[in-house]
Amino acid sequence: MTTYLITGANRGIGLEFARQLSRRGTDAVILGTARDPAGAGELARLVHQVIPLDVSDEDSIAGLSAAVGDRPIDVLINNAGVGSEQRSIEGLTLAELNRVFTINAFAPMLVVKSLLPNLRAGNRKSVFSITSQLGSIANNKGGSSYPYRASKTALNQLSASLANELRAEGFCCVVTHPGWVRTDMGGQNATLGVDESVRSMLAIIDRLRAEDSGTFFNYDGTTLPW
């Protein structure tokens, strides 16, 4: 039996993770977070526990450990994230940079911090963080999307540090680009259905090994340049 905790599980990619994991029956114990659990009806039917979490609020993140209790967590899926409409240098504001960095880069690390005792108690000790190929410096050929790109680059760097710090304890910490997915964030012109994206990412999660820690994956299992 494997215990998963999914952040941002009430819609899009996070909800699809809950759907697909729920089909594993008793082999999976699923915890999902939502900013408004009262409005997460489908999620509540799929998971063992819906945990209130606002990833823009440090106190809310700190409360995760109390909500989970002493339950071991095998796989943390850091999925919660936000896009940004500020695409050009002329429209850039400090407020938007702070908002997007807080949610996309800083919150995933604070979630790990809050749940570290639970992850240490788990058998898998896996931290699977959703990033974006837009966070790749090597692949930045188009510019724009300053807050979003930079926040995902920061997440990648923070995750690489996490992988190095926790490697000796047997942790596997990776970042993964989910593809251009048809969700509220990705839009309907995206090339990939959410079901295919999540199915492919679960295949990565299922075969993660300690030596994979620190890898930047594409959803199809190939690797991407930093």
Residue 3, Cβ density class (10 Å: 0-12 exposed, 13-18 middle, ≥19 buried) = buried
- Phi, psi angle pair for 87, to nearest 5°: -110, -25
Over residues 120-132, the mean pLDDT reads 98
What is each CA distance from 57 to 51, 94, 172, in whole angstroms?
A: 14, 18, 26
Which pLDDT score, from 0 to 100, does residue 219 have? 97
Residue with tokens 């890898």: 215
Per-residue pLDDT of 184-208, as tens digits, reads 666 777 778 899 999 999 999 999 9
Residue 193: its pLDDT value, please? 87
Phi (first) and psi of residue 149, to 5 degrees:
-55, -50
Over residues 105-111, mean pLDDT: 99
d(CA 24, CA 13): 17
Query: How distant, in Å, are the alpha carbons of 7, 64, 84 from that of 151?
Result: 17, 23, 10
Using a 10 angstrom Cβ sphere, with 0-12 exposed, 13-18 middle and 19 or more buried, the burial of residue 169 is: exposed
Q: What local confidence, expressed as pLDDT, does residue 116 receive?
A: 98
Predicted pLDDT at 57: 98
Neighbours of 85 (CB within 10 A): 9
pLDDT computed for residue 102 by the predictor: 99
**Across residues 207-225, what is the average pLDDT?**
98
Mean pLDDT of the chain: 96
Average pLDDT over residues 166-177: 98
User: What are residue 181's DSSP bridge partners?
Assistant: 192
Q: What are the sequence ranges of the domains in the chain?
A: 2-218
The domain 2-218 is placed in CATH, from the list 3.30.505.10, 2.40.50.100, 3.40.50.720, 3.30.70.260, at 3.40.50.720
pLDDT number for residue 186: 66
The pLDDT tens digits of the residues spanning 20-78 come to 999 999 999 999 999 999 999 999 999 999 999 999 999 999 999 999 999 999 999 99
Choose the weakest-confidence range: 31-45, 132-146, 172-186.
172-186
